[in-house]
Amino acid sequence: MTATTPPARSDTRATRHAQTPPLQDGGAFRTSRHAKAVLRSTALATLIALPSSPVMAQAFPVKPIRLIVAQAAGSATDVIARIVTPRYSELLGQSVVIDIRPGAGGSLGTEIAAKSPPDGYTVLMANISTHGVNPALYAKLPYDPVRDFAPVSLVSTTANVIVVHPSVPARTVKEFIALARSKPGMLNYSSAGPGTSQHLAAALLNTLAGIDTVHVPYRGSTPALGAVVAGEIAFMVPTLTTALPQIQAGKIRALAVTGGSRADELPKVPTVAETLPGYDVVSWWGVVAPANTPRPVIDRLNGDLVKALATAEVRSGLLKVGMYAQSQTPEQFAQYIRDEIAKWTKVAKAAAIKLE
């Protein structure tokens, strides 16, 4: 039923009554009640939608954020997190608290992150192991690196470095390859665990150089490198960040860096590719959130992380430990992860490595 326009205020009460449409079978009352119900439903729907609205993004965060590190304390992942989080916390207006959850080559902490509420208050410092190498090596993981996460941004990259105990009679990659060929199956190497970047970097060396060395996994890069320092293990291919202090102290010897160019921190140390063309390993780290985290929250996490990585204190802090600050949009980082998985799947297949 269509209502007529209310009369002017100067009209008499009788006139107003005469022009008011009559109620027919309570129709106007029912229409009014229905309209109110619709309004209530609309208001409720609006409230439900608030978590992914711009208003929610402006309010986020209202409490501390947990940043899971799926590697051991003192690992490169931990070092990077400790360099970035102070400035990141300032920009977010809330503390970013590091939560160390090592184990299973990074799978333990990564699974915890994947199963956390998608509200932005739990994020993961993902890396080449959790979102590159592990998916290429393991037939089954407790998480899906693509489906279970919402990428935020790349954070940092660095080359790895082949290091040996000083007692190993090799000072170059060429000499090391000759030594390994003369003693097949007798030289061992350590890693932070099966499926980590150190594992695959050494396996790639075996494949390209035609040598046979034995993998000895540890629970974390710190004890793995400690075994080389102690002389229990012949060599390792850790990140430059992890190895640099021990190299500078003379406790281990650097043979070559694994990236496409020499490292500024070790300008006299050649690349592996100078001896073995095609060898290229770059470790990386980045922040991801659980899948279905609202996009406005992802945008806030990304925006402040990019700002933190652009500051002089964060960039210089990373450079001091052989790292390079990097940042990307969520879409760019998502593609980067997919490309890394494809790359390492190829390497794993060529090296005939598959883990259960």
Domain layout of the chain by residue ranges: 20-51, 56-157+285-350, 161-274
Residue 127 and residue 319: Cα distance in Å, rounded?
18
User: Which of 23-27, 191-195, 245-249, 345-349 bottoms out in mean pLDDT, i.e. has the lowest?
Assistant: 23-27
Domain 161-274 in CATH 3.40.190.10? The answer is yes
pLDDT score, position 58: 63
Instruction: Name residue 335's amino acid.
Output: Q
CA distances from 336 to 87, 146, 317, 330, 340 (A): 25, 11, 24, 10, 6
Evaluate whether 233 touches 251 at the Cβ level (below 8 Å): no
**Residue 24 pLDDT exceeds 80:** no
**Residue 10 pLDDT exceeds 80:** no
CATH code for the part of the protein at 56-157+285-350:
3.40.190.150
pLDDT score, position 148: 98
Q: Percent of the chain having pLDDT more than 90?
A: 65
- Exposed (0-12), middle (13-18) or buried (19+): which is 180, by Cβ within 10 Å? buried
List alpha helices for 232-325, DSSP H: 240-248, 295-309, 312-320
Q: Percent of the chain having pLDDT more than 70?
A: 84
Q: Closest Cα to residue 287, out of 278, 297, 275, 277?
A: 297
Mean pLDDT of 127-139: 90
**Residue 221 pLDDT exceeds 60:** yes
- Do the domains at 56-157+285-350 and 161-274 have one common CATH topology? yes
User: Which of 24-33, 55-64, 66-75, 163-172 bottoms out in mean pLDDT, i.e. has the lowest?
Assistant: 24-33
pTM across the whole model: 0.71
Mean pLDDT of 76-97: 97
